[in-house]
Amino acid sequence: MGKLRDKMRVDLELRRYRPGTIDSYLRCAKSLVAHHRRRAEDLEEAEVRAYLMYLVKKRRVSASSHKMHVAAIKFLYGVTLGRPEVAVRLPWPKVPTKLPDILSRAETEALLAAVPSVKYRAILMAAYGAGLRISEACGLTVADLDSGRGVIHVRDGKRGRDRFVPLSPRLLALLRQYWRQERPVGPALFPGHAAGGLVAKETMRRVVREAAAQAGITKRVTPHVLRHCFATHLLEAGADIRTIQVLLGHGSIRSTARYTQVSVRHIASTPSPLEQPSTPPPTSRDQEARAKR
């Protein structure tokens, strides 16, 4: 794509898209061009639709991946190429809503205990104990921790939102233990192996997989599941959903409300109609008595 790729990257950066989103959009645009072996400037709506059908029918991409391709194509033609008519009628795919597997408190403790590295255990405990996204946990700095007030300042979260989350005494104690052992240099609390880098998200996914296997957990577990567990366990402990929304940094209460669907305590405490006392049907004598009244 050459110059077109560079122009699209600038357009994305000027709109303050996240680096990960920028890379994904550029990959999608490159895939479109490679599929047709023609310049993006020369493609028409029918060819773009044919490419999307190829993704769905031949490559069988997931609905979320399909949605990413549509978003990238709409940006490419609507913004970078100034030809919105090519993509404006492309339909957005329906993405099914799937509920995450939630670990019990005992399973969560077993998972954390199975992580041998203090550094990685501290990252995962921050994800669970403060409801952080794994990128937020890996990107923490020393300045983000306010032990006096008992909070963590999450900076530049999703969609650029800052927020404060609780810094539990147990997490603080583990972070101090980690600090004494490793003495990380620089502002980053969890530096990676590369100079100036952070612990990679893929590294944490591997750590979680290995810890889950070690703990004998058969549920599908990822670092993001710990954030789900934070919200669900808070809800089951009686926290109101508005507070959980603020702690998670959700822009809409609807995003937070889904945790009512995975809270076992809320579901189990809802009485089934089978348990409701039934009223026996009226007998003929009851009907005669009512008629006399």
Positions marked active-site: 133, 158, 224, 227, 250, 259
Go through 149-180 and write b for each residue having 16 or more CB atoms within 10 A of its CB, e for each that does not: eebbbbeebeeeeebbbebbeebeebbeebee
List CB contacts of 265: < 8 A, sequence separation 6 or more.
235, 236
CA distances to 9, 12, 21, 23, 31 from 5, in Å = 6, 11, 14, 10, 12
Residues 45-70 as b/e (b if ≥16 CB within 10 A, e otherwise) read: eeebbebbeebeeeeebeeebbebbb
Start-to-end Cα distance in the chain = 89
